[in-house]
Structure 1
Amino acid sequence: MARRRLSHEGTLVLDSEGLSRLLGDDETVVALIAEARSRGMEVVISALTIIEAVHARTNKARLNWVLSGLRAVPVGDEEAKAASALLMAAGLHGHKYAIDAAVAEAALRQQRPVVMLTSDADDMAKLCGDRIRLVSP
């Protein structure tokens, strides 16, 4: 398995697919996060990512353990307004893109460089532009 190389320091942001794969102990995602941490990167998620990734079959003990090692970025009024502005600027709208916009907004506020592990690189590129490095799981 080829390992992906990340920049030193900065932030690794997981979208719901990244969190889901981490919860499922996906070898590639676990290795990517371990490498990020070894390089001094903080690993974060949007608080809304928890809602999107968790389902009835989620192992709650595993969820709690995984979340204890991540920083969940809250989404308040100001963050929601900024996410809405990202949607408008990208020409996107509606519930299909709402959580993606919140994740993008959270990523844009993190310590640079920022790498995002996302299964939706096309939409995230529209929302983040070239300010975030996108990596597919």
Structure 2
Amino acid sequence: MARRRLSHEGTLVLDSEGLSKLLADDESVVALVAEARSRGMEVVICALTIIEALPARTNTARLSQLLSGLRVIPVGDEEAKAASALLIAAGLHGHQYAIDAAVAEAALRQQRPVAMLTSDVDDMTKLCGGRVRLVAV
């Protein structure tokens, strides 16, 4: 497998699978996050990702420690409206896409270049177009 490389500066966004794997100390995700930080990229998550990503038996101390090193992007009225517009533009609807749309909307507002660690490349491609580099995890 070819080594996945990230840009210098910009932003790395973690979707729920990215956060879950970081929490589980997945070697490839930990390495990508470390590389992003070493290249001066900010590592962020959408606030809703916290809800979606956490297993029932999450170590809350470990979670707090991990979240302290990430910028959590809040979702308010304007962000929710923008995420809804992304869903409509992508031809998607329903609760199964709601959090993905909020994550995509948050990613699109970040300092460029933006990369996202995601397990859902197909839907994120529909939501983000070519404006976010998607890295499958």
**TM-score band w.r.t. shorter chain:** over 0.9
How many angstroms apart in 2 are the aligned matches of 1:65 and 1:3? 28
Superposition RMSD in Å: 0.9
Shift of residue 55, structure 1, vs aligned partner: 2.7
Shift of residue 2, structure 1, vs aligned partner: 5.2
Q: Which moved more, 1:10-19 or 1:55-64?
A: 55-64
Write the mapping of 1:73-112 to structure 2, written as runs, cut at 5 A. 73-112=73-112
What is the match of residue 32 of structure 1?
A: 32
What is the match of residue 21 of structure 2?
A: 21
What is the match of residue 8 of structure 2?
A: 8
| TM-score of the aligned structures, taking structure 2 as reference length | 0.98
Q: Is the 8 A contact 1:3 1:32 kept in 2?
A: no
Query: Which residue type is aligned with residue 15 of structure 1?
Result: D
Deviations 1:55-74 (A, max 9, x none): 32111111011000000000
How many angstroms apart in 1 are the aligned matches of 2:56 and 2:97? 23
SS at match of 1:45: strand
How many angstroms apart in 2 are the aligned matches of 1:3 and 1:70? 24
Shift of residue 3, structure 1, vs aligned partner: 3.5
Query: Which residue type is aligned with residue 96 of structure 1?
Result: Q
Query: Which residue type is aligned with residue 4 of structure 1?
Result: R
How many angstroms apart in 1 are the aligned matches of 2:101 and 2:132? 13
How many angstroms apart in 1 are the aligned matches of 2:7 and 2:108? 16
Deviations 1:71-106 (A, max 9, x none): 000000000000000000000001000000000000
Shift of residue 32, structure 1, vs aligned partner: 0.2
What is the match of residue 115 of structure 1?
A: 115
SS at match of 1:102: helix
SS at match of 2:86: helix
What is the match of residue 63 of structure 1?
A: 63
Query: Which residue type is aligned with residue 45 of structure 2?
Result: I
| TM-score of the aligned structures, taking structure 1 as reference length | 0.98
How many angstroms apart in 2 are the aligned matches of 1:2 and 1:74? 34
Percent identity between the two aligned chains: 84
